[in-house]
Each structure stands twice: as structure tokens, then as C-alpha cells.
């Protein structure tokens, strides 16, 4: 099964996210990642949805999304022509005997430490999902205390845009 990333422009009104996620639930489709935020136009929000499926599932999802009230634009984002990123915040135990190893990992992955205490280090990392996954795997032996991920956000390269309808 392939992974697809869909950009959806919706009216920035109450209940839209519920209708979009409910459409996936009702039809038995699983969402791998879902992010939402206001666009450059305050009346609209952009939802980025990642899911696995075949061509038939992708087409059914696109058709169903386009039918939903307050959905203005739906587009499959081609991974070759799209910048895709995710944000990770991860808290690791801060012990003197492993601190240098963690600092080396932070440097290699171009992460940064955003909070430092005698008991814990909190790191921030932005990148593709595979980079985030590799960083987590590398840090597991050092004692991950807590972590949270944003899910992916995606935007087309160049002048191509998912347009908001005005």
C-alpha cells in the first residue's frame, strides 16, 4: 500500500474537522497523520492528511472529501514536488555519563536542546518522518521520558499552491 498526503482547504468554522475525520471513520479508512491550522486567509484552515491505501481508496477519499460541507479545495500532494516535515519534542534523562552521547546525536541530527534541567534534556527536531524515527530509535537506549510529534505538514515546491477560495 502506498502512502498519500492530501492537502484540504476548509472554511475556518466549528465542526469542519469533526466532519472530515468522521468521514474517514464512517468508511473505515485509517488516518496516519492529521494536522490543521489557519491559512494565510483567516477565514480558511488547511488540513494535511496522510494515509495508506491503494489507488481506489485514494480516489474514494478524494470524492468523499469534495462532497463535504465547508470543504473548498482537495489535492493529493506529490511527494517529489512537496516539502514534507514533522516536528518532534522529546525529553531524555540527563545523566552525566550519557550527556555527551546525547549532545553528539543532537548535533548530528541538527536538533536543538530547548530545555535543560539537572534531570532532563528536551530536544526539538524538525524533518522528514524517517529522520524523526531514526532520532527516536537512537535515543531509546538513553531513556526517553516523554515525547510528542506534530504529524506531518506539507506544502508544494515552487509556485504551485493549494489555493484558498476567496
Q: Which of 11, 12, 4 is closest to 50 using CA atoms?
A: 4
Q: 87 and 151: one domain?
A: yes
3-state secondary structure of 92: strand
Predicted confidence (pLDDT) per residue in 63-101, tens digit = 999 999 999 999 999 989 999 999 999 999 999 999 999
Domain hosting residue 130, numbered range = 83-155
Residue 23: give its domain's CATH number.
3.30.70.260
Can you name the residues that pair with 157 across neighbouring β-strands? none
Would you say residue 146 lies in a domain?
yes
Q: 62 and 104: one domain?
A: no
Predicted confidence (pLDDT) per residue in 101-136, tens digit = 999 999 999 999 999 999 999 999 999 999 999 999
Query: Which of 56, 76, 96 marks a domain boundary?
Result: 76
pTM of the model: 0.86
Would you say residue 164 lies in a domain?
no
Is the dihedral angle over the CA atoms 158, 159, 165, 166 positive or is it negative? positive
The pair phi, psi for residue 136, each rounded to 5°, is -60, -45
Amino acid at each position: 500500500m502506498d502512502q498519500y498526503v492530501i492537502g484540504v482547504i476548509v472554511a475556518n468554522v466549528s465542526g469542519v474537522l469533526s466532519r472530515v475525520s468522521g468521514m474517514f471513520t464512517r468508511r473505515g479508512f485509517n488516518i496516519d497523520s492529521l494536522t490543521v491550522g489557519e491559512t494565510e486567509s483567516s477565514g480558511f484552515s488547511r488540513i494535511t492528511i496522510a494515509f495508506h491505501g491503494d489507488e481506489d481508496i485514494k480516489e474514494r477519499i478524494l470524492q468523499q472529501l469534495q462532497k463535504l460541507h465547508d470543504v473548498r479545495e482537495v489535492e493529493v500532494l506529490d511527494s517529489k514536488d512537496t516539502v514534507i516535515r514533522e516536528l518532534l519534542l522529546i525529553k531524555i534523562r540527563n545523566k552525566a555519563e550519557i550527556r555527551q552521547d546525547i549532545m553528539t546525536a543532537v548535533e548530528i541530527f541538527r536538533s536543538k536542546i530547548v530545555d535543560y534541567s539537572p534531570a532532563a534534556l528536551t530536544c526539538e527536531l524538525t524533518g522528514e518522518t524517517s529522520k524523526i524515527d531514526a532520532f527516536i530509535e537512537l535515543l531509546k537506549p538513553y531513556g526517553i521520558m516523554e515525547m510528542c510529534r506534530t504529524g506531518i505538514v506539507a506544502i508544494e515546491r515552487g509556485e504551485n499552491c493549494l489555493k484558498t477560495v476567496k
